[in-house]
Amino acid sequence: MNQFFDYNNNVFRILGGLADCLILGALWIVCSIPVVTMGAATAAVYHAVNKSIVHGQGYAFREYCTALKTDLKQTTGAWLLWGILAAFLAADLVVTRQFLAQGSALGALYYFFIVLSAMALAWEFYLTAYMARFEGTIRESMKKTLVMVVANLGWSALLVAVFVLFVLMCNDTQCLIVLFPGVFALVKNYVLEKVFRKYRTPEDLARELEMTREYRN
């Protein structure tokens, strides 16, 4: 019985994680209302999930606010540049879908732009997560993450598929929307930390592991 009420119990950890996801989801929704800050809000959720929920360091609310304040300018700039590309792709999809409906040969381009749009979406996942975890210029971050997307197509496709699944679930059950940002950030964390690890030096990994151990002790 005492073990059940132990805060280190897996049940309490899961419930605590869900509560944190609810908090982070609400924060993301509020901070994404201006739209231009959506990238910074997404990066802040990833930072809070990675540090608070995954590694048990600090509180999700505090980590989110700290990351949003610290990285707002940098992540917003990168997200706006990505947004320009996304807008062009969205316009191409609308135009080529009309060609497809008319039976034009140019309609075949619609499927090409679907693939490009999926890759662009994956790029956004990598970009916001990378900027939440590592320092670097906007140009450097965008270049590195684009290479990662292409070099890890399997993981990229998985993230896009999970994202689409989550969107469909939220469309059917709208109350899940508030959980979506935090839970999807957990999925991204599981996938992208595996990818990021391949591009980091053993010294960096050992240093991060030691910091995590010192915090828990």
How far is CA 56 from each of CA 8, 68, 135, rounded to the nearest angstrom?
11, 19, 22
Q: What sign has the CA pseudo-torsion 169, 171, 176, 182?
A: positive
End-to-end CA distance of the chain: 26
16 pLDDT tier (thresholds 50, 70, 90): confident
Query: pTM for the full model?
Result: 0.89
**Listed residue (152, 90, 157, 77) closest to 117, CA to CA:** 90
22 pLDDT tier (thresholds 50, 70, 90): very high
Cα gap 26→43, rounded to integer Å: 15
201 and 43 Cβ atoms separated by less than 8 Å: no
Cα gap 194→175, rounded to integer Å: 31
58 pLDDT tier (thresholds 50, 70, 90): confident
Say what the pLDDT of residue 134 is.
92
- Is residue 4's pLDDT more than 50? no
Residue 6 three-state SS: coil
21 and 27 Cβ atoms separated by less than 8 Å: no
- Chain segment 90-114, per-residue pLDDT in tens: 999 999 999 999 999 999 999 999 9
Which of 49-63, 140-154, 190-204 holds the top average pLDDT? Answer: 140-154
